Amino acid sequence: GQLDTTCHAFVGETVVLPCTTTPPGELTLSKSMLYWQIGTKELVHFFQNGQDSLEDQDEKFHGRTSLFLDQMKHGNLSLKISNVQLWDNAEYSCIYRQTENHQTKKSTIKLSVSGKN
């Protein structure tokens, strides 16, 4: 897939990986799924049926990720990662899927992490 944007952060910072969708009107979050993942196996954050669903979240992201829940219905699917670590350096996929019409939108965001010097 094509890279949509690159974000830069230093270790220990909080970074927002941008992802937006622009459908007409508001998103129906109860009929939406949002995956943030690295590659095909590492689940960074998962949202479905109107709420976070983090049972399968990769443990190294535990407690460090959050969505902008109040803005999601307006299409802001961005992911906030706090206390960024060197191993967060990766390409992240933001995958938004509507359960009714199976429409899927995917974007790729690269996070480049630098150590404090």
Edge-to-edge strands, sheet with 104-114:
5-10, 104-114, 90-98, 32-38, 42-48, 51-52
H-type alpha helices, 1-117: none
Confidence of residue 1 (pLDDT cuts 50, 70, 90): low
Confidence of residue 14 (pLDDT cuts 50, 70, 90): very high
d(CA 55, CA 71): 23
Confidence of residue 24 (pLDDT cuts 50, 70, 90): low
Predicted TM-score (pTM) of the model is 0.92
The tokens of 80 are what?
């906030």
Given this model, what pLDDT does residue 23 score? 64
Domains of the chain from N-terminus onward: 1-12+55-116 (2.60.40.10)
> For residue 57, what are the CA distances in angstroms to 42, 65, 91?
8, 10, 17
- Burial of residue 92 (number of CB atoms within 10 Å: 0-12, 13-18, 19+): buried
Which DSSP state fits 102?
-
Given this model, what pLDDT does residue 101 score? 81
**pLDDT 10s digits, 54-107:** 999 999 999 999 999 999 999 999 999 999 999 999 999 999 998 888 789 999
